[in-house]
Amino acid sequence: MTAHGTVVVIGGPTASGKTHAAAALGQQLGTEVISADSRQFYHAMRIGTARPKEEELLGVKHHFLGHLELEQVWSAGAFARAAETVLQDLLKEHGIAVLVGGSGLYIDALIKGLDPLPAGDPVWRERIQQRFSNEGLAPLLKELEALDPVCWQQIDRRNPHRVIRALEVCHATGRPYSSQRNGAQDRTDLRIVRIWMDLPREALYARIDQRVDQMIAARLAEEARSLLPYREHNALRTVGYRELFEHFDRPSPPLPPQEGITLAQAITSIKQHTRNYAKRQLTWSRRDPWYKCGPLEHEKHIQLANAAS
């Protein structure tokens, strides 16, 4: 199949400067940006997901930012179907599009397609979900590590939905979940240019800590408290909100705190869990070839994009 357009994928760990790089590239190339950050899909989760403000978009139209309500559930497949329509329109009009995000599964869904996996087994799913309700996530993670250590290493271990799904497939098929992911290949109807925001580990961690501090200053705690009634929605089972929900569970003096954590402890946990998430993003990136650039090397970004277009 002959390629008929170019997609420039801007990847990188959280807080590495992907948003600015993608907006600057879209501006220079005269095209639009497709966001593949699954946390930024949700309108109510602005501060905790670092969803960019209008001025940060540099006048470039971005698709799939804040378009969902908390009650809505979007899978990688649903994203790929919706994004495909946008992608084809952009390629028809501009010949090139920018895809940005830290959600590897969603990026792969659009530029590779999804691995065919067995249909869900409702019996196993119900059993595992019941265990999660009764025992929490830790025992499920321990079981997943025993059944499929490869999956355990790569999966978002703070996402119950993905852990439950992986265990469901392991039990229903008798085989590791990871062995049934075939490693879909890049589409051949597109030219794909991958640019990775590359930073030294120490610099990345400093940026993560700084961004968390900025979120707190921007009233993240107040945003999280307003979303407390919706805490069981899958969208809110994510870094930044879960730690603050745990803090809100802490009784106020003079009652002795039986559970929960202090605000300072919550902030420390958010920083640590964000660093853990960044490590998983780095692991995901090793599966494909990327051009590695600093987040502010915009001339190099443009040269790479133009060379393939």
In this structure, which amino acid lies at residue 286? R
pLDDT at position 253 is 64
Q: Are residues 46 and 62 in the same domain?
A: yes
Q: Tell me, what's the pLDDT at 206?
A: 97
Are 16 and 84 in the same domain? Answer: yes
Structure tokens at 163: 């852990």
Q: How many domains does the chain have?
A: 3
pTM: 0.81
Q: Based on the fold, state whether residues 64 and 173 are members of the same structural domain.
A: no
Same domain, 73 and 164: no
- 87 and 168 housed in the same domain: no
Taking the C-alpha atoms of residue 107 and residue 9, their distance in angstroms, rounded to an integer, is 8
- CA-to-CA distance for 247 and 236, rounded, in angstroms? 15
In a domain, 172, yes or no: yes
Asked if residue 283 is part of any domain, the answer here is: no
* Residue 179: predicted pLDDT: 79
Burial letters 183-204, b for 16+ CB under 10 A, else e: eeeeeeebbbbbbbbbbeeeeb
Same domain, 293 and 230: no
The residue segments making up the domain with residue 252 are 204-277
CATH number, residue 68: 3.40.50.300
User: What DSSP state is assigned to residue 234?
Assistant: G
Does the residue 303 lie in any domain?
Answer: yes
Of the residues 180, 212, 229, the one at which a domain ends: 180
Containing 32, the helix (H) or strand (E) segment is none
In a domain, 78, yes or no: yes
Looking at the structure, tell me whether residues 74 and 147 fall in a common domain. Answer: no
Pair (254, 239) in one structural domain? yes
Within a domain: 282: no
In a domain, 64, yes or no: yes
189 plus 295 within the same structural domain: yes
Residues 82 and 231 in one domain: no
Residue 274 is predicted with a pLDDT of 97
Instruction: Clarify whether residues 64 and 192 are in a common domain.
Output: yes
- 1 in a domain, yes or no? no
pLDDT mean values, one per 10 residues, the chain (309 residues): 80 96 95 97 97 96 97 90 96 97 91 71 89 91 92 81 88 85 80 95 97 98 97 93 94 64 96 95 90 82 72
Same-domain status, 215 and 68: no
At 292, which helix (H) or strand (E)? strand 291-293
CATH of the domain at 150: 1.10.20.140
What is the pLDDT at residue 1? Answer: 41
Predicted local distance difference test score (pLDDT) of residue 120: 65
Q: What is the CATH number of the domain that holds 227?
A: 1.10.287
